[in-house]
Structures are given as C-alpha cells and as structure tokens.
Structure 1
C-alpha cells in the first residue's frame, strides 16, 4: 500500500488558516467534501471529532493523524495539511502540531485502515521529511516530498 493510493495532490493544503483544533479538522475535510458531494465538511469533521473524543490523534513530533470510518465511502481517502505556525492539538508530547494527515476509511475496513495509519505514522517519524515539508514552497512540493519518501518503502 502506498500513500499516493489514497492521497492526491488536490487534497494537500499548504497553509492551514485554522488556529483551533475543531477548525483544523473542518479545514482538512473540505477537499474531501468537494470531491465527495454526499458528505459535507461538517459531517466529515464530526467523524474526526468522534475519534478525538477517545484521545488525541496528535502523535507528537508535530504530527497528527486524525481518522475515522464512513459508511458508504468506497475507498480509503485522505487529506494533508500544514500549519507552519502550529496548532495546539493536544498532542501526546504537549508540543504544537504542524503536520496533519486526515484519513477516512470505509466503515468495514479495519485491516486496510490500520495498515494505512501505520504507514503514515512510519513515514512521518522521519525528521528530515517533516522539516522538508515545513520548508516546502507549495502544495505540489509537499505532495512530491511525501510521494518520494513513500516510494522508498
């Protein structure tokens, strides 16, 4: 499984406007709602918020992987957003979060969902990748950095 199978260039947000957790989640959902008119950004945000109630998906080192399952979703899909300033996402290390990878999976897809989360987590453990994304000039460069790093595994 490759991240580029469920992340497309048009689902990368180079500069998140949001400064609060709830707003970050909604902003991450907008590209998916635009491509999937059966879902509103608000509905998608609610799915992510329901998961956040179990504990923050801020995994530390400036990274968060909010995720959830959606009935009727045909395939795994995701968005990526960057906040250079950082957002308090209640991460496990207490530090601001800069890189957000939102992942949505079909309702009955535990295996693929967990594999995707593991792949994203492993990819973003790489400090050089995280730093390069923070310095990237635009969405295309961010997507290329993710795709290039993902191709190594």
Structure 2
C-alpha cells in the first residue's frame, strides 16, 4: 500500500512546534485517533512506544517512521509531520529528526504493514523529495507534495 492511499490532509502537519520525542508521538496519536474514529490516543501512543522500545524508528537523514498496530480497526492510517526544529529521536545516525511519517495498521495485516513501510522508506530516500518536504510551509502544500510523489 502506498503512503498516498492512507494519508489524509487531516493527518498532515507542517512545522509543528514540538521539542521532545514524547510530545511528537502524542501529537501523531491525536491526529491518528481522529482519523481512525474509534481509537484511544493513549492506546495508539502505547503501540508506538512499544515499538520504540525495540529500537528507534529514526532511519537516518533526519527522518523517522514510527509505527504501531491497531487492535480494533481494519483501516490503515498514516500521519505525516514536519517539525519547526529537529528533535532528538535516537536515530540510527544520531542526527536529530524533523520529518516523521507514522503508520498505524491493523494487527492482522503484517505483510501489508511491511510493504507499506518499504514504500515509505523508498519515497523518503529520494533526496529531491525530502528536500521539497523540508521546504513546505503549510499542511496543504506538504500533503499535495506527497500525493504527487511517485
């Protein structure tokens, strides 16, 4: 599944003024809970934190892909956030992170989860795309950029 298929404008936020990993993850969960409809933001946060305990989802170059599983939904949801300033996210290259693509997938969708993570990693490994993402100044511009990316 492609990011474009599971990302909505409501789950896209540009230049968010957060200063910590926990606050960033809470922001992601608030957006995702509204999009999912029947999800508790604290359950979503627990899912992300459980995954982070296994190892940081900071993949390097200022990018992180925090992800978790949904126990009570059949719909995959993505959240894309850029931050005003890069924050410490324990990334593998020890660089601070300013681009976050978060993914929530149903528990029974393991293969789809892995394929979607691969598509996201491929999309954001394109230096031109990430450069354009960092230049976006509002939510709509960021969302439109991703929708047009291949």
* Fold-level similarity (TM above 0.5): yes
Structure number with higher strand proportion = 2
Question: Is 1:52 aligned with 2:27?
Answer: no
Match of 2:139 in 1: 139
**Alignment match, 2:68:** 68
Deviations 1:8-55 (A, max 9, x none): 111101122221111111101111112334222222111100000000
3-state DSSP of counterpart to 1:94: coil
Bigger relative contact order (CA 8 A; separation at least 6): 2
Deviates more, 1:17-26 or 1:110-119: 17-26
Aligned residues: 150
List, as ranges, runs of 4+ consecutive aligned residues in structure 1 with deviation greater than 4 Å: none
Aligned to 1:116: 116
Paired residue for 2:148?
Answer: 148
Q: For the Cα contact (< 8 Å) 1:84–1:134, is it kept in 2?
A: no
Q: TM-score, normalised by structure 1?
A: 0.93
Tell me, in whole angstroms, the C-alpha distance in 2 between the residues paired with 1:104 and 1:139.
Answer: 20
Answer with 113-122 or 9-18: which moved more.
9-18
Mapped to 2, the partners of 1:82 and 1:129 lie a distance apart of 13
Match of 1:128 in 2: 128
Q: Where in structure 1 are there 5+ consecutive unaligned residues?
A: none
Deviates more, 1:139-148 or 1:48-57: 139-148
Match of 2:92 in 1: 92
> Do 1:16 and 1:27's aligned partners in 2 also have CA atoms closer than 8 Å?
no
Q: Which runs of 5+ in 2 are unaligned?
A: none
TM norm structure 2: 0.95
C-alpha contact (below 8 Å) 1:19/1:87 kept by paired residues = yes
What is the root-mean-square deviation in Å for CA atoms of aligned residues?
1.1
